[in-house]
């Protein structure tokens, strides 16, 4: 398929042509992405983690560079050929994921330009080494579900419901909109996370898995996106499901 690699993971500067998506994502979501000409790489099930997150891209893998993608050993053999076929370099992580926190957070790193955000006590060693080799600055937070908790708006702005993350990133000059937790569905749990329903589909296009009008901070979120020149795309009219992030892979060549 056509497309060029994204220089800075998670931050495309052109319209996206391929994404990684939860293998259980609804037909409404997948069809709306396909209508935009976006190829979908679906994740496979990781049976070792609990069911609600067993297909979540941000639990199973992390793109470190434009081509290098670290994948949990649990699903590496099932997914590597798909990434090879798209010209990527899939790398097997060292940490085998387990069912519960913190055994399931090793790859849940949030990436924001030159910064990476995680609880570095639990990060996969292969992933951590590659981040350091690529001179990515590490921001430590207590919250191990870092990518789940962070909606990436651009290279200097995020949305999160985690006060600790907001405080940590603001010390590095990153603007953080702190919102109320909840109002996001995640099967079997009280609620999901804002990062898990979102992903950039272009320099000024931020997709959400559902409509946010039920969120009490809807107005503040829309204002924040407008201030950052970001156009929201709602992939369904339903209550937003946490699908483990929409991970951009490829973008238009020009």
Find the CATH number of the domain harbouring 20.
3.75.10.10
Residue 6: per-residue pLDDT: 98
Structural contact between residues 136 and 114, judged by C-beta atoms closer than 8 angstroms:
yes
Question: In a 10 Å sphere around its CB, with 0-12 CB exposed, 13-18 middle and 19+ buried, how is residue 153 labelled?
Answer: buried
How many structural domains are present in the chain? 1
- Asked whether the predicted pLDDT for residue 217 surpasses 70, the reply is yes
What pTM does this model have?
Answer: 0.97
**Domain of 36, in residue numbers:** 4-251
Give buried/exposed letters for 15-41 (b at 16+ CB in 10 A, else e). bbbbbbbbbbbbeebbebbeebebbbb
Mean pLDDT over the full length of the chain: 98
pLDDT given at position 108: 99
pLDDT the model gives residue 3: 80
């Amino acid at each position: 398929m056509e497309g060029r690699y994204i220089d800075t993971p998670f931050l495309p500067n052109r319209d996206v042509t391929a994404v990684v998506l939860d293998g259980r994502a609804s037909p409404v979501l997948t069809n709306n992405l396909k209508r935009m000409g976006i190829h979908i790489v679906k994740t496979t099930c990781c049976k070792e983690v609990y069911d609600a997150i067993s297909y979540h891209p941000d639990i199973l893998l992390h793109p470190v560079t434009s081509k290098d993608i670290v994948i949990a050993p649990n699903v590496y053999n099932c997914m590597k050929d798909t990434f090879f076929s798209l010209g990527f370099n899939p790398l097997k992580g060292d940490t085998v994921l387990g069912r519960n926190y913190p055994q399931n957070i090793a790859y849940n790193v949030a990436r924001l330009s030159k910064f990476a955000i995680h609880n570095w006590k639990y990060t996969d060693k292969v992933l951590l080494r590659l981040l350091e080799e690529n001179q990515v600055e590490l921001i430590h937070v207590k919250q191990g579900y870092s990518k789940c908790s962070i909606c990436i708006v651009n290279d200097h702005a995020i949305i999160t419901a985690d006060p600790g993350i907001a405080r940590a990133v603001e010390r590095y000059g990153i603007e953080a909109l702190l919102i109320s937790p909840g109002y996001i569905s995640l099967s079997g749990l009280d609620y999901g996370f804002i990062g898990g329903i979102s992903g950039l589909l272009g320099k000024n296009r931020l997709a959400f898995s559902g409509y946010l009008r039920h969120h009490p901070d809807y107005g503040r979120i829309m204002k924040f996106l407008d201030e950052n020149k970001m156009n929201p795309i709602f992939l369904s009219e339903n209550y937003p499901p946490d699908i483990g992030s929409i991970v951009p892979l490829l973008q238009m060549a020009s």
